[in-house]
Chain A
């Protein structure tokens, strides 16, 4: 029994040795310490997070990544659970509460990307119906977009429940005969409209840029009423639908850091402050990650290698 037990242990050890391969050596700890970046669900956010991660790692930081949704991440930053969000689409109530009132989160300015949200249809549909260029052209033609869920009305595909959207109210305000249908999270929404696109059928949906799919699918945006003073975008506030009858604003995407992180004096703070790139940059990396299914770290490293000058600016070189 004793021999057998000992023999088994040795055997196991040999087996382990035979299987063990060398891999990346242990990371060196530097004066930078650990930085926690938050990545949002969509590929664009994954892109900028992983690029920042690799840049920070090159100056010796250990980078952790959390995946907290857009709104709760403010509380997480206030608690110090995550240090920085590199792409925020303008959450006014949260900014009021955490940045202005509590001062637990700091606004670090634009990240260089401009966001656009709106109503999109496939370009082939726009060619067939040039009147759809503005929203007025949709009136009377809504039944073109009928689906099993929408009954006699046309179907408007809503966006991911975690994204800001006001289409339910907007449809009412513009008095269009659409039924607002939410098919759930973005993967489900994408599945829906891409299926219809591939079949050449009409579909109208909430969509945005930067988005990596915009390189693969040809989409056209429908013009919504111009923005006026006092225009509302936050559906949860309720009130007169007419106040919502305007297009989505253009979003300067901004970076937010937790106050604790800023106070810590880590060298990472300065680098992230200088982080800035364009829509095209973000779409390139996002396209690699989500479109070609490249490993995010590898995609980031590829882009960094090809854009060393920009990266050096962030590093302050």
Chain B
């Protein structure tokens, strides 16, 4: 073996100047835009000659035409088709509603509890029972039933559509490639953006509510089903193929049974997604708890809060129940023999008998459809109202703290930022943002950004509002990341933190945003702040969960190695774990922005103005043109932000 010659000392690479590299370039561009702002403030708003000015008016005329033509005695086939679908959906919801009412509270409770007991175990059944009892105690049984009916109708249809497509996406790579961007779009679009078209097509009512919920709930159904099918061990599927199974045999005998747990989890997620639309559904005629929240805001905020709590209770109950049922009926763990199967059949029959008994007793005792006597609603409302009175009183200590903070944030933070975005000359802002997108993410996202900005200014004529909304989104996102990433890291490192955070995060994700905006409207009564805060509260749990999962998933080996070199816990965190979890953190940023955008729109109802306000007003005053164009602007913002924060995707080709 040759002896290595001692080389000269290895030179350290030259430290690169901070302005080189992509981040530096982005900062330079931002500074350039800032200079343009100070130099030519307010002198170049989006020009009229670049705008499709008559579009809003044309759309309004289109809506009038639509209305005139659907209400004639003999409408055309297209309208009949839409009316038919709307009627079908309305009837479906109506049928489910009267079904649950006929069962009476007693019967429905028995049905829910016994079904969960049979398939999910005692603990889950106890939770379900508690949930039903609380509904009665809150005196909200009537709206609860309507929300149930709406949710079940939406979930049932979502699964009926999502399952077959999900199976297809799970088995065919090509179909998955085609369907993924469609699903992405369906989930990025904030619900407010497609409310107007749905109302036009289906008219207000439970049907429109179901249609809106479907758009939001189908993607998780398809995605998780596909994931489940693909999660079946490759060798097992290959074994079936190698034994000469047909595609149907492979699907029915191998893939579906082994993916069953994931399929039931997709049911779980579809239910939760559907429930999160309850309040929005209330705005377009879906009755139930959502309507109680939206109308309660006007006359009885305490009731709105209580209804919000009922929504959270329903969400948590359904979540725990379906999760328990998914885990317990997993055929790969259950090991059913013929004897056990017989026993289970008997068990099912007994539960069915129990339900029948309860229904009969309910009717016999005249329980009717509503339980009205033993509610604690009155007491609870008084309690909540007192809390609200405290919040609404501007002479309290709390107000003296929160009000100045709110004012300060708006005067020195949000307003200047808003002016910066709105008043910068449009060429500087448009091309500057596209350039920044290029430096952060590459050519394609930059092109998308440019196209979306052109769309916003040129087609929707909402440049000013869109820039306002953009500034709010960026502030809210910044706050979300500042709060969410450290909390996510903390949750990853500490079991105690996780246990404390989990219920809090669950509540924040299921409580309707309008409900937790209410206290902020009073404590920080400056228009933009409550909306921003609500966005942060809604988006932070997502970021926290993704960051936590990412860091916990980091392979233990490099962590061990770092420890063996004597690194402190903090060094391990900063030098090993966080860099290796970078993908998950980027995903957290991406999802955080999408969530923030969704809420900022609802926040338009409570002061954030801009695009959200235009959509809300468009919806409520049937200003089709304004509503659709503002929705389009929201969509454009969403697409651009999503593309820029998604990072680069790599293709992997696995080799044996």
Which residues of A, 103-120, contact B by the 8 Å Cβ criterion? Answer: 104
| A17 in contact (CB, < 8 A) | yes
Q: Which candidate, A22-30, A137-145, A169-177, A307-315, is the interface stretch facing chain B?
A: A22-30
| A1 in contact (CB, < 8 A) | yes
Q: Encode B437-477 as 1/0 by CB contact (under 8 A) with A.
A: 00000000000000000000000000000000000000000
Query: How many positions in chain A have a CB within 8 Å of any CB in the partner chain?
Result: 71
Give every chain A residue within 8 A of B245 (Cβ-Cβ).
Answer: none
| A86 in contact (CB, < 8 A) | no
Of B362, B411, B617, most A-chain CB atoms within 10 Å: B617
Give every chain A residue within 8 A of B607 (Cβ-Cβ).
Answer: 182-184, 188
- A183 adjacent to B67 (CB under 8 Å): no
- A195 adjacent to B371 (CB under 8 Å): no
Give every chain B residue within 8 A of A43 (Cβ-Cβ).
Answer: 298-299
- A184 adjacent to B608 (CB under 8 Å): yes
Residue in A5, A71, A187 whose CB lies within 8 Å of B301: A187
- A9 adjacent to B350 (CB under 8 Å): yes
- A12 adjacent to B114 (CB under 8 Å): yes
| B568 in contact (CB, < 8 A) | no
B628 CB to closest chain A CB (Å) equals 14
- Of chain A, the residue at the smallest CB distance from B378 is A295
| A185 in contact (CB, < 8 A) | yes
- A20 adjacent to B106 (CB under 8 Å): yes
Residue in A66, A188, A236 whose CB lies within 8 Å of B605: A188
- B354 adjacent to A81 (CB under 8 Å): no
Give every chain A residue within 8 A of B133 (Cβ-Cβ).
Answer: 19
Query: How many positions in chain B have a CB within 8 Å of any CB in the partner chain?
Result: 85
| A76 in contact (CB, < 8 A) | yes
CA distance A13 to B359 in the complex (A): 9
| A42 in contact (CB, < 8 A) | yes
| A265 in contact (CB, < 8 A) | no
- B354 adjacent to A191 (CB under 8 Å): no
CA distance A120 to B521 in the complex (A): 21
- A188 adjacent to B609 (CB under 8 Å): no
CA distance A15 to B82 in the complex (A): 46
- A17 adjacent to B365 (CB under 8 Å): yes
Tell whether A23 pairs with B371 under 8 Å between CB atoms, given A102-B71, A181-B527, A187-B518. Answer: yes
Give every chain B residue within 8 A of A199 (Cβ-Cβ).
Answer: 394-395
CA distance A191 to B353 in the complex (A): 53
Known: A46-B299, A183-B525. 16 other contacts (CB 8 A): A2-B346, A5-B351, A16-B106, A22-B366, A25-B366, A42-B299, A72-B619, A72-B620, A72-B622, A76-B285, A98-B71, A184-B613, A187-B301, A187-B521, A188-B607, A195-B525
6 examples of A-B residue contacts, CB within 8 angstroms: A5-B346, A5-B351, A43-B299, A97-B68, A151-B415, A187-B518
Point out residues on B near A: beta carbons under 8 Å. 64, 67-68, 71-72, 105-106, 109-110, 113-114, 117, 133, 199, 203-205, 282, 285, 287, 291, 294-295, 297-303, 343, 346-347, 350-351, 353-354, 357-358, 361-362, 365-368, 370-374, 381, 385, 392-395, 406-407, 410-411, 415, 518, 521-522, 525-528, 530, 603-609, 613, 616-617, 619-623, 626
